[in-house]
Amino acid sequence: EAGVAQSPRYKIIEKRQSVAFWCNPISGHATLYWYQQILGQGPKLLIQFQNNGVVDDSQLPKDRFSAERLKGVDSTLKIQPAKLEDSAVYLCASSLSTRSETQYFGPGTRLLVL
């Protein structure tokens, strides 16, 4: 079974530029999560989707971050414009449903904002 796929693996941009990350969850998984992991900290949930609907985006900085999952499968997370403090690893995870006890994580996208 293929795992959660993410691209790109690494990205370096300058502040005020835009960047987009892509995630393809495990086939059949209805729930998709985006987490932000700042260096030295644990991951923090940014947004959660159930199919193509948003379940929780309470921690998403909506003035600069946006995410979509239009067809309920893969998802993109965008930052526009980026700030220095957005430097982090962006992890995508998926699970069968919101009731599932197991979330499977992708390898992450490492973003450096200069």
Partner 1 sequence: GEDVEQSLFLSVREGDSSVINCTYTDSSSTYLYWYKQEPGAGLQLLTYIFSNMDMKQDQRLTVLLNKKDKHLSLRIADTQTGDSAIYFCAGRYNQGGKLIFGQGTELSVKP
Scored b (16 or more CB within 10 A) or e, 72-107 reads ebebebebeebeeebbbbbbbbbbeeeeeeebbebe
**18 touches partner 1 (CB under 8 A):** no
Contact between 31 and partner 1 (CB under 8 A)? yes
Residue 51 binds partner 1 (CB under 8 A): no
Closer residue to partner 1 (CB): 4 or 79: 4
Q: Give the binding site for partner 1 (CB under 8 A).
A: 4, 31, 33, 35, 40-45, 48, 50, 55-56, 91, 93, 95, 98-108
